[in-house]
Amino acid sequence: MSDHPFGFSNRDDDESGKRRDEANGPGGSDPFGFGAGGTGGFDPSQLGQMLTQLGQMISGMSQGGGPGGAQSGPVNYDVAKRLARQQLGASVAPIAAKTSSAVADAAHLAELWLDGSTVLPAGANKTVAWTANDWIEETLPTWKRLCDPVAEQISGMWTAQLPEEAKQFAGPMVGMLGQMGGLAFGSQLGQALGQLAKEVLTSTDIGLPLGPAGTAALLPSAIASFSEGLEQPESEIMVFLAAREAAHQRLFAHVPWLRQQVLGAVEAYARGIKMDFSALEDAAQNIDPMMLSDPSKLEELLSQGTFEPQTTPEQKAALERLETLLALIEGWVDVVVADAVGERLPGATALSETLRRRRATGGPAEQTFATLVGLELRPRKVREASALWRRLTDDAGMERRDGVWAHPDLLPDSTDLDSPAGFIDSVIGGGTGAFDDPLAQLAETEARERDQAQQDEKKSDDTGDDPESDHS
């Protein structure tokens, strides 16, 4: 390892170093090359010019809001929200009353049909129609939870790798770079969310509970675009998507641990991010501080993959848990919705296959996660999970099928999806005793929630309020 651990050397045979030496005198021993009065080959008076160039590179991030907006965490979410909305343009029309009524009717019908295909009661306190702007606003709190661990991990690793003397010297610079990092991550998030907001169909379209708990949401504008070119009437597609949204809401509402398990798996993956600093050190030997004033050279360096995170065993384990859990959720929803709509919607099977292919081909959701969180949110075994839930429904019945959700330890794992016979036998035969208590616990939890809802409704009636119904 050289005396200049981050590669900011003042070698005499470096052509640009020669030019700087001619202007500023011989270099000193500063390992960063940031010596006073230009020692080390870098004149601090050029810092303003360097930052101006960097500012031009990210000028789009802060347009319309000063220097990028307030930032209290590792990501500048003010910038993210602003850029996401800018992508949508100023012509996002509000939801018409007729459209909101159609969404409410579709949700009401879907809930009635679902009552006969699952023991889990309705999970949404209200059903709403969202614009793309509404989706950005309402899902941003969950995106914060998902993105903060990534940004914090990467930011912390950079500072952790600095030598102690470097930390003292670069303290103010580190703070400034942290702000710039938050600005850059916020810009990346905003670009991704702006694209995603144009295409998502419901609040659970990508398999995660992104919206507020108890709120089912459909996006009529995106549904209208999705319906173009399909053979089914848009009204039927609306009911089908409302049934899928309602089924997700039932599962997340009445399986108390599920939301935390899904989001926690994403967080665990993010916290496992590691950087290969040996590759960074090798690359840094050739970094010239003056290249920071040349955006094209800086972009070329960053595009070499040197700064890409490395996959760890912990991440692989978290990813497998997440993929399996998402596949089980989507497979369960497929089976429950298929039983609910039955022959009521002749095109339901084709719609289900269309959605499955849309997900499997890597749409905007997968690209967003691959960019922001570092993983592809694409469960590989949805078909296997659907087949398992179907066989379990046929062989064990709806009650025992839904009772599997009573505790995470009762769920099938990845190997069960490949060979479901043993798991199904455990539910039907010798393992049935293990399901008795969880089923009773699930029923007890549902009873308490229903009693609480009835009490809340009675209190609202007594005070003269007009609360929104489950299917409004």
| pLDDT tens per residue across span 357-393 | 887 776 655 666 666 666 666 667 889 999 999 999 9
Domain annotation covers residue 38: no
Same domain as 367, residue 252: yes
Same domain as 141, residue 166: yes
Domain annotation covers residue 393: yes
Q: How far is CA 414 from the centre of its chain?
A: 22
Same domain as 163, residue 191: yes
Please write the tens of the pLDDT for every residue from 168-218.
665 566 566 667 667 777 888 888 888 889 889 999 998 889 999 999 999
Report how far apart, in Å, the C-alpha atoms of 80 and of each of 182, 263, 417 are.
10, 21, 38
Whether 33 and 4 have beta carbons less than 8 Å apart is answered as yes
Q: What is the mean pLDDT of residues 271-295?
A: 57
Q: What is the mean pLDDT of residues 261-280?
A: 72
Residue with more model confidence, 405 or 60: 405
Question: Residue 312 is which amino acid?
Answer: T
Query: 286: Cβ–Cβ under 8 A, 6 or more apart, which residues?
Result: 7
Q: What is the pLDDT of residue 470?
A: 46
Same domain as 264, residue 326: yes
Q: Last residue of some domain: 349, 374, 399?
A: 374
Same domain as 256, residue 401: no
Domain annotation covers residue 132: yes
Query: 134: Cβ–Cβ under 8 A, 6 or more apart, which residues?
Result: 128, 217
Which residue is associated with the tokens 């009445």? 254
Report how far apart, in Å, the C-alpha atoms of 283 and of each of 13, 18, 184, 286 are.
18, 21, 22, 6
Residue 24 pLDDT level (bands cut at 50, 70, 90): very low
Same domain as 442, residue 323: no
Domain limits for position 435: 383-448
Domain annotation covers residue 279: no
Q: How far apart are CA 299 and CA 305, in angstroms?
A: 11
Domain annotation covers residue 418: yes
Same domain as 331, residue 202: yes
Output the DSSP codes for 124-169: -SEEEE--HHHHHHHHHHHHHHHHHHHHHHHHHHHHHTS-HHHHHH
Q: Looking at the predicted structure, is the pLDDT value of residue 414 above 60?
A: yes
Q: What is the pLDDT of residue 169?
A: 62
Residue 27 pLDDT level (bands cut at 50, 70, 90): very low
Q: What is the pLDDT of residue 371?
A: 62
Same domain as 242, residue 93: yes
Q: What is the pLDDT of residue 26?
A: 41
Extract the tokens encoding 61. Answer: 């991030």
Q: What is the pLDDT of residue 19?
A: 41
Domain annotation covers residue 60: no
Q: What is the dihedral of CA 339, 108, 345, 404, to 10 degrees?
A: -20
Residue 263 pLDDT level (bands cut at 50, 70, 90): confident
Q: What is the dihedral of CA 121, 127, 130, 136, to 10 degrees?
A: -50
Same domain as 191, residue 148: yes
Extract the tokens encoding 296. Answer: 């094209």
Whether 216 and 124 have beta carbons less than 8 Å apart is answered as yes
Taking each helix axis from N to C end, the angle separating 313-341 and 348-360, rounded to the nearest 10 degrees, works out to 170
Please write the tens of the pLDDT for every residue from 28-82.
433 333 333 443 444 444 445 444 544 544 444 444 333 444 456 788 899 889 9
Q: Last residue of some domain: 323, 349, 374?
A: 374
Same domain as 264, residue 395: no
Domain annotation covers residue 91: yes
- High-pLDDT (> 90) share of the chain, %: 35
Residue 343 pLDDT level (bands cut at 50, 70, 90): confident
Report how far apart, in Å, the C-alpha atoms of 85 and of each of 167, 206, 263, 424 are.
38, 20, 25, 48
- High-pLDDT (> 70) share of the chain, %: 60
- Phi and psi, residue 72, nearest 5°: -110, 0
Q: How many domains does the chain have?
A: 2
Same domain as 351, residue 202: yes
Extract the tokens encoding 133. Answer: 């702007």
Extract the tokens encoding 373. Answer: 């969180």
Domain annotation covers residue 49: no
Please write the tens of the pLDDT for every residue from 82-140.
999 998 887 788 999 999 999 999 999 999 999 999 999 999 999 999 999 999 999 99
Same domain as 150, residue 258: yes
Q: Last residue of some domain: 344, 374, 404?
A: 374
